[in-house]
């Protein structure tokens, strides 16, 4: 039986050729195959490029941006005069020379016992692998190796966004629930023009803090993305020593928070106030080892993505060599991890470039 011209025109051509018109002089157009977009995992500079320069300094943040980080992460603490500063610990002793400058103040080096003016007098101490300089890098900020305020971190990110032509995101962490701190975080972000469309996430280990932030922002008529930090657990937690001692249980996948008392919250419940989770990596585990822990299984990421959530892992430090580090990042990228907190953002970026290239090659082969 002869096929009609109409049926010929409706035939599907799988070799990227499009038939235009429906007559003997049909024009044939060859179309280059298009690659499907590859989702790029986010690289968040953990306390800046803290593997290279002192953590939570403008120098470390700027170096991270130069290395290609998508976001810079300031942990936030309140000074005694009510100013948000970028400091990880509750105290100043580990990262600054506070005892040399002010003595111990009866053994109290808590950030909240010092004014901003006093904190600005402190010098940073070298921690872990950090140094005071980095090859061929000169920070452009004044007091680049001092404790910065949250506003100074934002101003740096916004200035570098203009200079580089790409938006540099910020990823501040709110500590345990504190009304003043929550209000100041929201007001500061609001004053600097951040909206739901901006590259900003607010993270916390406290579910109570995140719920409070959500309510306060919604009362202002907007909502910035929130991230629940904690330890990822599954049903095996119920039979563990930790689960028994805390008297907590988990169904499906859950996050163990740092609230007082601590909470174990299912991902489906977390989604109601925070669409993203940031979970701890095992310090001794390798993604290439045989692991039953859910963070090392693709099922977790499939489950979270089906809920419309993202999974970010912390903290990637530097193994014995760069090749091993890049292998670790690649392993998690391939599992489906949506972002990484890294002390060495340059290595995370190198691994991401390899991952994207590999994914595009796979897509091209499949076409």
Residues carrying an active site annotation: 46, 88
Q: Is the peptide bond before 275 cis (omega within 30 degrees of 0)?
A: no
- Angstrom CA distances, 362 to 40, 291, 326, stand at 15, 26, 20
Tokens of 61: 């943040």
If DSSP codes are grouped into helix, strand and coil, which group holds residue 331? helix
* Tokens 């470039």 found at: 353
If DSSP codes are grouped into helix, strand and coil, which group holds residue 1? coil
What count of residues does the chain have? 367
Let me know: does 19 contact 9? Beta carbons within 8 Å.
yes
Phi-psi region at 223: left, alpha or beta (left = phi > 0; alpha = psi -120 to 50) = beta
Q: Report the C-alpha gap between 218 and 211 in whole angstroms.
A: 11
**Cβ-count burial of 193 within 10 angstroms (0-12 exposed, 13-18 middle, 19+ buried)?**
exposed
The β-bridge relationship of strands 226-233 and 276-280 is parallel
Q: Report the C-alpha gap between 202 and 187 in whole angstroms.
A: 13
Q: Report the C-alpha gap between 101 and 256 in whole angstroms.
A: 38
Distant-in-sequence contacts of 240-249, Cβ < 8 A, 24+ apart: none
Q: Report the C-alpha gap between 345 and 341 in whole angstroms.
A: 8
Nearest to 279 by CA among 238, 233, 318, 345: 233
If DSSP codes are grouped into helix, strand and coil, which group holds residue 30? strand
* Run of H or E residues at 244: helix 241-246
Tokens of 60: 């470390």
């Amino acid at each position: 039986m002869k096929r009609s011209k109409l049926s010929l025109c409706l035939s599907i051509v799988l070799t990227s050729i499009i038939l235009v018109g429906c007559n003997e002089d049909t024009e044939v157009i060859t179309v280059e195959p298009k690659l499907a977009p590859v989702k790029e995992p986010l690289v968040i500079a953990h306390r800046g490029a803290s593997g290279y320069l002192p953590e939570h300094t403008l120098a470390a943040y700027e170096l991270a941006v130069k290395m290609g980080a998508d976001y810079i992460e300031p942990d936030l603490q309140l000074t005694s005069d009510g100013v948000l500063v970028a400091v990880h610990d509750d105290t100043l002793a580990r990262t600054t020379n506070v005892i040399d400058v002010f003595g111990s103040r009866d053994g109290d080096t808590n950030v909240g016992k010092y004014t901003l003016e006093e904190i600005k007098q402190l010098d940073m101490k070298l921690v872990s692998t950090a140094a005071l300089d980095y090859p061929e890098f000169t920070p452009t900020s004044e007091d680049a190796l001092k404790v910065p305020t949250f506003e100074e971190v934002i101003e740096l990110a916004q200035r570098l966004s203009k200079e580089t032509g790409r938006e540099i995101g910020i990823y501040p962490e709110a500590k345990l629930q504190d009304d003043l701190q929550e209000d100041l975080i929201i007001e500061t972000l609001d004053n600097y023009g951040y909206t739901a469309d901006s590259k900003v996430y607010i993270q916390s280990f406290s579910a109570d803090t995140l719920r409070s932030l959500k309510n306060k922002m919604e009362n202002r008529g907007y909502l910035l993305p929130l991230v629940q930090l904690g330890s990822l657990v599954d049903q095996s937690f119920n039979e563990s020593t930790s689960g028994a001692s805390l008297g907590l249980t988990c169904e499906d996948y859950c996050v163990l928070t740092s609230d007082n008392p601590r909470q174990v919250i299912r991902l489906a419940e977390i989604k109601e106030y925070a669409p993203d989770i940031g979970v701890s990596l095992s310090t001794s585990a390798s993604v290439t080892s045989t692991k039953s822990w859910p963070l090392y299984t693709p099922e977790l990421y499939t489950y979270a993505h089906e809920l419309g959530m993202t999974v970010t892992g912390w903290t990637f430090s530097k193994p014995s060599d760069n090749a091993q580090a890049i292998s670790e990042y690649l392993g998690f990228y391939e599992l489906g991890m949506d972002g990484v907190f890294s002390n060495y953002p340059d290595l995370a970026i190198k691994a991401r470039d390899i991952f994207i290239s590999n994914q595009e090659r796979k897509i091209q082969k499949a076409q």
